[in-house]
Structure 1
Amino acid sequence: MGVVIPATDETWQRLQALSTLPRSASSAYWQDRRTEMAMQRTGDAITFDGLYSDVPEAPGWLSPGRLSWLRRLVGVGDARDWSEHPLTLAWRTRLHALPDPRLASVFSSYDLAKAEDTAADLPDGPILEIGGGACLVAAAMLRRDCQRYAVIDLPESMAAGFAVLRWLFPAINIALPGEPNTGARVTFHTPDSMPDETFAAAVNVTSFQELDPPIVAGYFVRLDDWLVPGGRFVCINRAVKTDPARNLHAVFEDYPWPEGWSVLRDDEPLISRWSGPMTTIRRRVIQKPTTACAAKS
């Protein structure tokens, strides 16, 4: 069984329209994974398959990840020991109290900790997320009273995010592609119908690593138009991700980082090395210059 989200008849009916949208161009990785994505109505909820795995999770006080059952096999002092991992320590001390309690019944504390850690780098103001998935970062920002949030995603991926936000925030105006979006606080967009407004920040979490380099480059080109002067881009992705079967080889340092932008942060986020001591994830927060002259200097 996949992720199960409570849903009304209206939510289910609106999600049906996503199947009529054109299949946006994507990487070979996601073209292949599309066959894994499915949703079905189950009583008063919707079951989403393919977006999150069904690996059982250890008790929350032990570990924040679904891989924790593997880590129980290693001893203290082992490089793979989860008990002293930064994500585990952060979850125990501060992050566990931040997410909406309803989410804890659906998503692993690993996923929730990742979202809350990401949201901490985002400023107040309108936010654009490239690849929103289940919209856990969006949920964290809406709880902070973010008044404008836009998500770019594939139709089959945005379904879960829309359902999550409709469940948590039923009074918020949320618009799917093709729906009237005047006054909407949250809007969803496909790669074929990207927003043309400006934002205080943009964010991408572990999805650039699954896209072909030309697609990633296209998003970087648009950052200058999307972000206001002084706006931030928060990028969290694998240092290197290779999948020969899906013709994928993504390198974080090879992204076309814009010249003249300030680097506010360049480190490993809490989720780095959780899947294994050599699985490095990078986090870089860059800031657009406040003036055109600063960008040229």
Structure 2
Amino acid sequence: MLTDNDALKALATLDGSEASSSFWRDQEARYSVDVDGGVQGETVLGSYSAKTGLLHRLGHWVLQTPFRFMARRFRDRSRCERMGREIARRQGRAYTHDMQRQALSLSLIRHYQPSGTGQGVNLVIGDGYGVMTSLLLMDEPGRKTITVNLNKSLLLDLAMARRAHPDIRIALVSTREEMARALTDPGFGLIAVRADDCSIIDAASVALAVNIVSMQEMDPPVVEEYFRILRANPAGATRFYCANKLWKQLPDGTESKFEDYPWSGGDSIDLDEVCAWSQWVYSLRPPFWHYRKGKHRIIWHRLAQLEKAST
């Protein structure tokens, strides 16, 4: 088990992940990440802007108004957005639409599973810039969060989460024994797992799992493994928030279909619909708000309490 700076330094020395799909094998060749979270090259991990002046903040606030309206029925919307803006401030970045939509997704989750409920850890699968990881750590500081990702992406997640939470202690684990140690050690708030080692997560009781627009870029067997983990982990109940394109074709021709994910008829579904705040985007180009047209660009989100595997 590696911890804190040693964990980040170790990730910085690693090449691509065996779990990478053809999409990510292509993308990972285009950028690099250093231990402080600096990114060189082009990445699709999420929008990042260091323009934090008053006019830029005001512009984002105005353009984000329709999205706040979309989530008006969720009582924690304002609170989750305040956390998002505070995280952006600590990270020295703008509170962009990419951050807002994750804060809105958290407010949706909290409508059905309030903070402090459920037994076990939070799990973020395939984060980007550590946004959801940072939100969950701020929302439930007493609950451990596990974050799992490809090597470069994981390094960036950890570096950015540490900017938002400078005092957080990180454990990078690669075996079930290391996972058990990290789970029982009260000093560690954030547990990191390389995607190649994801199978060990089934040793943790997962109360809530979140995946936002990254399962759509995984090979189907990898998606199946994550569902296995969520169903097999020892928590009595595991709720899963999944927001991804209904259909996406990867560079090697592999098709990723939301409805082909291994859902079960025994899953208890809380919400199942088009994700409005991910289906629209904004820019400075009139008419400023733009709809993602085309049936293959539809982003669907589902929140479900998953049927657990029989023992």
Q: 1:292 to 1:177 in 2, by over 3 A?
A: closer
User: What corresponds to 2:32 in structure 1?
Assistant: 38
2 CA distance for matches of 1:227 and 1:233?
15
2 CA distance for matches of 1:112 and 1:239?
22
User: What corresponds to 1:286 in structure 2?
Assistant: 304
User: What corresponds to 1:213 in structure 2?
Assistant: 220
1 CA distance for matches of 2:7 and 2:306?
37
Contact preservation (8 Å) 1:118, 1:137: no
User: TM-score, normalized by length of structure 2?
Assistant: 0.72
Say if 2:277 is the partner of 1:271: yes
Post-superposition Cα deviations, 1:17-71, rounded to whole Å, max 9, x if no partner, equal: 1144573322111111111231247xxx54224233568987213324xxxxxxx
Q: 1:277 to 1:141 in 2, by over 3 A?
A: same
1 CA distance for matches of 2:277 and 2:26?
26
Please list every run of 5 or more consecutive structure 2 residues that lacks an aligned counterpart in the other structure.
Answer: 282-291
User: What corresponds to 1:135 in structure 2?
Assistant: 130
Q: Please show how residues 106-255 of structure 1 align to structure 2 within 5 Å.
A: 106-120=93-107, 121=109, 123=113, 124=116, 125=119, 126-146=121-141, 147-177=143-173, 181=182, 182-183=185-186, 184-194=188-198, 195=201, 196-226=203-233, 228-243=235-250, 245-255=251-261
User: What corresponds to 1:60 in structure 2?
Assistant: 60
Q: 1:88 to 1:100 in 2, by over 3 A?
A: closer
Contact preservation (8 Å) 2:85, 2:95: no
1 CA distance for matches of 2:277 and 2:230?
25
Post-superposition Cα deviations, 1:182-227, rounded to whole Å, max 9, x if no partner, equal: 4311101012323221111111111110011121112112221126
Query: SS where residue 210 of structure 2 aligns?
Result: strand
Deviation, 1:127, is 0.7
2 CA distance for matches of 1:205 and 1:21?
25
Post-superposition Cα deviations, 1:238-265, rounded to whole Å, max 9, x if no partner, equal: 112234x343421111111023111111
Number of aligned positions between the proteins = 260
Q: 1:12 to 1:47 in 2, by over 3 A?
A: farther
- Give the structure with the higher percent helix: 2
Q: 1:31 to 1:117 in 2, by over 3 A?
A: same
Post-superposition Cα deviations, 1:68-125, rounded to whole Å, max 9, x if no partner, equal: xxxxxxxxxxxxxxx7xx4264589946434143515424421221221222205435
1 CA distance for matches of 2:308 and 2:172?
32
Q: 1:12 to 1:223 in 2, by over 3 A?
A: closer
Greater shift, 151-160 or 262-271, is seen at 262-271
2 CA distance for matches of 1:107 and 1:250?
32
What is the identity, as a one-letter code, of the residue corresponding to 2:217? E
Q: 1:109 to 1:20 in 2, by over 3 A?
A: closer
Contact preservation (8 Å) 2:275, 2:301: yes
Q: 1:52 to 1:141 in 2, by over 3 A?
A: closer
1 CA distance for matches of 2:237 and 2:256?
28
Q: 1:111 to 1:91 in 2, by over 3 A?
A: farther
Question: Which residue of 11, 16, 22 maps to 1:18?
Answer: 11
User: What corresponds to 1:99 in structure 2?
Assistant: 84
Q: 1:128 to 1:11 in 2, by over 3 A?
A: closer
2 CA distance for matches of 1:60 and 1:260?
41
Please list every run of 5 or more consecutive structure 1 residues that lacks an aligned counterpart in the other structure.
Answer: 1-9, 65-82
Contact preservation (8 Å) 2:50, 2:93: no
Superposition CA RMSD, Å: 3.2
1 CA distance for matches of 2:22 and 2:100?
29
Contact preservation (8 Å) 1:63, 1:88: no
2 CA distance for matches of 1:102 and 1:15?
20
Q: Identity across aligned pairs (percent)?
A: 25
What is the identity, as a one-letter code, of the residue corresponding to 1:138? T
Q: 1:156 to 1:216 in 2, by over 3 A?
A: same
